Amino acid sequence: MISAGEFRNGLTLEIDGNVYQVIEFQHVKPGKGAAFVRTKLKNIKSGGVVEKTFRPTEKYPPAHIERSDMQYLYNDGDLFYFMNVETFDQTGLSADQVGDALKFVKENDMVKMLSHAGQVFAIEPPLFVELVITSTEPGFKGDTATGATKPAVVETGATVYVPLFVEEGETIQIDTRTGEYMKRV
């Protein structure tokens, strides 16, 4: 059991039958009255964020989140299929369960599957991916003083804003957390 006085960012807890992750916390000691802990909690299954206050002595059980490495195989229209590379077990997830986590992931790439009590609730793509640009407009010389960017479509179908000097057919590195161009490869 973890008391509210021990909350830290990133901690996952079971509160009222739901699994929450602490996004922000603040210990408050007002001039009058008892101290309390003000938090922002993210429901990891639904994605909703709530603000709650706790007495420092309240205790909650930690939630055990399993992270397993899986290989993204393919999408058949209804389901996205993943394979455990150690046991070769395959798992199919619906588009609602996957969300837009696979926006920058190609077939056969490795991802992390997050589950709680055997129920998968999220897919984590790798932090950085290297993708080929399939279409973009040509850049114009002399337009670089403002740090201008242009839209480019990568091989997964996602659109990324890249500097004007990047051309079609080049491989670029993308940060999957922000969806931003990092560098040419």
What are the pLDDT digits (tens) for 27-71? 989 888 889 999 999 888 777 889 999 998 899 998 888 888 999
- Please tell me the CATH superfamily of domain 128-184, with its number: Nucleic acid-binding proteins (2.40.50.140)
66-124 CATH, one of 3.50.50.60, 3.40.50.720, 2.40.50.140, 3.40.50.11740: 2.40.50.140
Helix (H, G, I), strand (E, B) or coil at 182: strand
Fold for the domain defined by 2-60? SH3 type barrels. (2.30.30)
pLDDT at 117: 79
66-124 and 128-184 share one CATH topology?
yes
Higher pLDDT pick, 145 / 169:
169
Number of helical H runs and strand E runs in the chain: 1, 16
Asked if residue 141 has pLDDT above 80, the reply is no
The per-residue pLDDT for range 79-137, each reduced to its tens digit, is 889 998 888 888 888 887 787 888 888 888 999 988 887 778 778 889 899 999 999 88
CA 112 to each of CA 65, 88, 119, 127, 161: distance values in angstroms, whole numbers, following the listed order: 12, 15, 14, 11, 26
pLDDT at 83: 92
Domain ranges in the chain? 2-60, 66-124, 128-184
Provide mean pLDDT across the span 6-23: 86
Q: Distance (Å, rounded) from C-alpha 150 to C-alpha 169?
A: 15
Higher pLDDT pick, 10 / 172:
172
